[in-house]
Amino acid sequence: MTRDFSSSLNPSQLEAVYATEGPVLVIAGAGSGKTRTIVYRLAHLVEQGVSPSSILLLTFTRKASQEMLQRAADLLGEGRGLARVQGGTFHAFAYGMLRRHTPPGWPDRLTVIDRSDAESLIREAKAELGFGKGDRSFPKASTILDNVSKSRNKEFALRDILSNESFHLLPYADEIETLGDTYDRKKRACGMLDYDDLLFALETLLRSDEELLTNVRRRFEHVMVDEYQDTNLVQARLVELIAGKGGNVMAVGDDAQSIYSFRGANVQNILSFPQVFPGARTIRLERNYRSTQPILGFTNQILAQSRLLFEKKLWTEDEGGPTPQIIRPLSDLSQARLVAGKIVELRKEHPPGEIAVLFRAGYQSYHLEVELNKLGIRFAKFGGLKYTEAAHIKDVLSFVRILRNPSDTPSWHRVLAPIKGVGPKTSARLVTSLLSGDREYVDSWRKKRPELDALLGFLDELRSREYSPGTLLEQIVKFYTPQLEERYPDDYPRREAGLEELLQIAAGYKELDLFLADLSLENPEPRGGEREEVVTLSTIHSSKGLEWNAVCIIDLIEDRFPSRHAMNRVEEFEEERRLLYVACTRARKYLALFVPKAVYRRGKETTEPATASPFVREIPGEYYEEWQENYTGGLSQTKGAPEYRRPPSALNPPQQRTKPSGTPGAAASAPPPPAPDPSTMGFCNHKVFGRGKIVAVIPPDKYRVNFPGFGLKVILAQYLEMEGEQGRQSG
């Protein structure tokens, strides 16, 4: 007997619950009740007489599967549990299979190693091969393992991973490749599987044993996969293997929330589901239960320009609420003050725990952290370290503290630490000798260690002159940068961005003592139950799955959002768009995007105009209010069209996507752009760089374009709107 769930579910959710035969793809928009739908479908299957043991539920966390199964059991009631449902992560399922069946190429007895064991094997291989001896910049075992894992999960060559994501490690590419191969041989020889091996070993097993694959398919009559947009290539292949082309498989996810490609997630898995499983039924959950309609109208416009997506339009019955705001600070330096002021304002209406500030990268919140500390507003930060906790920031500030207080022993220990041979005991004696005037001991070490002589000479030079905080920090960072690359060889490019932010903070101060005081103010880390009493600062990646009443997003300008690294590849640019979509859909009632008009350029001691993010410029003005910072202080609402919007022809190049056909909600696919026509050497428009002159064709699908103010750029054809014959002649 089928229970009537119509009073508990909306029509689309109900359709997904009752669609139990054949392949089904559920495109679950943000806040659309995805988990609720899965829970009710589990209960419905059991009520229909499906044995719990024939259901496979694959999730990305053990907690998620346990919650779903418990809620489904509660819904069924009468003691009817779902304990026999095979529910858990892909890796847990793989481990269970591999305990009973040995994959080809592996010994009979297999053990699974954890992260620390895997790093130990890398270190063992490194020692055996003699790599990195005497080279302090040689990458650590953890970094090598990270890149080996990325190579496996993305199924890219290890050298390509280094080129695309860790270019500073390319000088060690040969050694890292050799270590990766040696690491793999060691595991196999000892019968050890790491986290990534579990999935590939299971795939090998199922492809090599047809009888086992048949039995697996017979056992699991119904396969359900949560967060399908986050699957990597091997996970998608495993789903296809286990379910079969025409099996009862339901994938639930949202292509618009696929933001984890750096972990190996591949958005094409969900986009190609209808092709991989012919005849798949596609159901869209578009009713949103989280945000107000003004916020949803805004977020729908973010996706409207996407070139590859399942078309969806989120809506809600909650028509009220304030219109989203785009706030234009005069510069990135004044942005933090405006955001802090907005938080003060929002706290009158919302508890601190219901307010969040989101950003693309962890270092982007440093200015704001200083402002919040000055105002005594407590916060918790997720994703990226607080500036007061980052080792490289502490290193640089130690130089400043010594200048203000020569007796600051901890700071002395920090600046002396990079000097070879100066351990804790020697450091303590050097500090004592320096402060007591024991020149003999200090001079003996200066002769032995020229780098100590250079350090002391540098500190003396700084003491002999009066510097502004900004100039002083510039001198220190210049001296410190070679140490940064040596002390943190694995990720120094990321740390450099944090130092640049520190320099910008310093530039806003005239007094060194005030600068140090503001950076030293304590913001105690909240404990357990105190989270609701503090404002949240978070990277967008760390905010996934969370929601707040009020959300502010900062640094919506070129080079920061999207990041400069995402401007050359279609896939990365579109993921940046999805990242903004995820950020905006975290808001329930209030949403503000901060778009600085200018950025401070250190060295030039001036600010330069900033270009608003293309994702912001694409949104029609009727979906938001624009406010700008006044020269006299405060904010005022602007009238008329936003100043940064260009004509629609320059903003909205012809869409490459095709309209869905056949199954409602089928994936829209972007056909490959035609090869550039060599005769088309006129003018074009680009949504970021504006109007430009085409100067060269780069087969098969790129142009070299000269953009006034930006110079020569190589751009994919599908990102350009070509001007007609008249435009070429008049240019």
Percent of the chain with pLDDT over 70: 89
Q: What pLDDT is attached to residue 336?
A: 93
Q: What pLDDT is attached to residue 721?
A: 85
Cβ(35)–Cβ(67) below 8 Å: yes
Quote the tokens at residue 1.
């007997």
Q: What pLDDT is attached to residue 656?
A: 35
Cβ neighbours of 37 (radius 10 Å): 24
Q: What pLDDT is attached to residue 470?
A: 85
Cβ neighbours of 522 (radius 10 Å): 8
Which amino acid would we find at residue 597? K
Q: How many CA atoms lie within 13 A of 691 on its CB side?
A: 11
Q: What is the mean pLDDT of residues 633-652?
A: 61
Q: What pLDDT is attached to residue 662?
A: 35
Nearest to 58 by CA among 31, 94, 83: 94
Q: First and final CA of the chain: distance in angstroms? A: 72
User: 11-100+198-289 falls under which CATH superfamily?
Assistant: P-loop containing nucleotide triphosphate hydrolases (3.40.50.300)
Q: Taking CA 364 as the corner, what is the angle to CA 586 and CA 162, rounded to the nearest 5 degrees? A: 95
Which amino acid would we find at residue 59? T
User: 683-686 and 690-698 as β-strands: parallel, antiparallel, unpaired?
Assistant: antiparallel
Q: What pLDDT is attached to residue 515?
A: 84
Percent of the chain with pLDDT over 90: 46
pLDDT digits (tens, 9 = 90+) for 661-716: 333 334 444 444 454 555 557 888 887 677 888 888 877 778 888 877 666 777 87
Q: What pLDDT is attached to residue 302?
A: 93
Among 241-255, 568-582, 632-646, which is the least confidently predicted range?
632-646
Per the model's pLDDT, the better-predicted residue between 384 and 378 turns out to be 378
Residue 418 banded pLDDT, cuts 50, 70, 90: confident
The answer to whether residue 639 scores a pLDDT higher than 80 is: no
Among 129-143, 205-219, 263-277, 419-433, which is the least confidently predicted range?
419-433
Among 64-73, 181-190, 392-401, 669-678, which is the least confidently predicted range?
669-678
- What residue ranges in 532-613 does DSSP mark as E strands? 535-539, 548-553, 587-594, 598-601, 606-609
Determine the Cα–Cα distance for residues 300 and 103; give it in Å rounded to an integer: 46
Residue 57 banded pLDDT, cuts 50, 70, 90: very high
Q: Which of 197-201, 487-491, 518-522 has the highest mean pLDDT?
A: 197-201
Residue 602 banded pLDDT, cuts 50, 70, 90: low
Q: What pLDDT is attached to residue 569?
A: 75
Domain ranges of the chain: 11-100+198-289, 125-189, 294-304+325-386+529-609+620-638, 387-521, 683-722
Residue 293 banded pLDDT, cuts 50, 70, 90: very high
Among 391-400, 436-445, 582-591, which is the least confidently predicted range?
436-445
Q: What is the mean pLDDT of residues 526-544?
A: 79
Q: What pLDDT is attached to residue 674?
A: 52
Residue 725 banded pLDDT, cuts 50, 70, 90: very low
The answer to whether residue 282 scores a pLDDT higher than 90 is: yes
Longest Cα–Cα distance of the chain, Å, equals 93
Nearest to 118 by CA among 140, 142, 87, 98: 142
Q: What pLDDT is attached to residue 533?
A: 85
Among 95-104, 315-324, 353-362, 699-708, which is the least confidently predicted range?
699-708
Q: What pLDDT is attached to residue 668?
A: 42
What is 472-506 written as a DSSP string? Answer: HHHHHHHHHHHHHHHHSTTTHHHHHHHHHHHHHHH
Q: What is the mean pLDDT of residues 133-162?
A: 91
- What residue ranges in 392-443 does DSSP mark as E strands? none
Q: Which residues are annotated as a binding site?
A: 28-35
Q: What pLDDT is attached to residue 363?
A: 86
Cβ(637)–Cβ(322) below 8 Å: no
Residue 531 banded pLDDT, cuts 50, 70, 90: low
Q: What pLDDT is attached to residue 719?
A: 79
Quote the tokens at residue 473.
């920090």
The answer to whether residue 88 scores a pLDDT higher than 80 is: yes
Q: What pLDDT is attached to residue 11?
A: 95
Would 11-100+198-289 and 387-521 be classified into the same CATH topology?
Answer: no
Determine the Cα–Cα distance for residues 148 and 241; give it in Å rounded to an integer: 25
Quote the tokens at residue 6.
């119509």
The answer to whether residue 12 scores a pLDDT higher than 50 is: yes
The answer to whether residue 384 scores a pLDDT higher than 90 is: no
Residue 651 banded pLDDT, cuts 50, 70, 90: very low
The answer to whether residue 590 scores a pLDDT higher than 50 is: yes
Q: What pLDDT is attached to residue 661?
A: 33
Q: Which residues are annotated as a binding site for ATP?
A: 28-35
Q: Which of 280-289, 299-308, 475-484 has the highest mean pLDDT?
A: 280-289
Q: What pLDDT is attached to residue 660?
A: 35
Residue 10 banded pLDDT, cuts 50, 70, 90: very high
The answer to whether residue 118 scores a pLDDT higher than 80 is: yes
Nearest to 577 by CA among 563, 593, 588: 563
CATH number 1.10.486.10 given to 387-521: yes
Between 3.40.80.10, 3.30.565.10, 3.40.50.970, 3.40.50.300, what CATH number should domain 294-304+325-386+529-609+620-638 receive?
3.40.50.300
Averaged pLDDT score across all residues of the chain = 85
pLDDT digits (tens, 9 = 90+) for 241-272: 999 988 999 999 999 999 999 889 999 999 99
Among 456-460, 591-595, 596-600, 642-646, which is the least confidently predicted range?
642-646
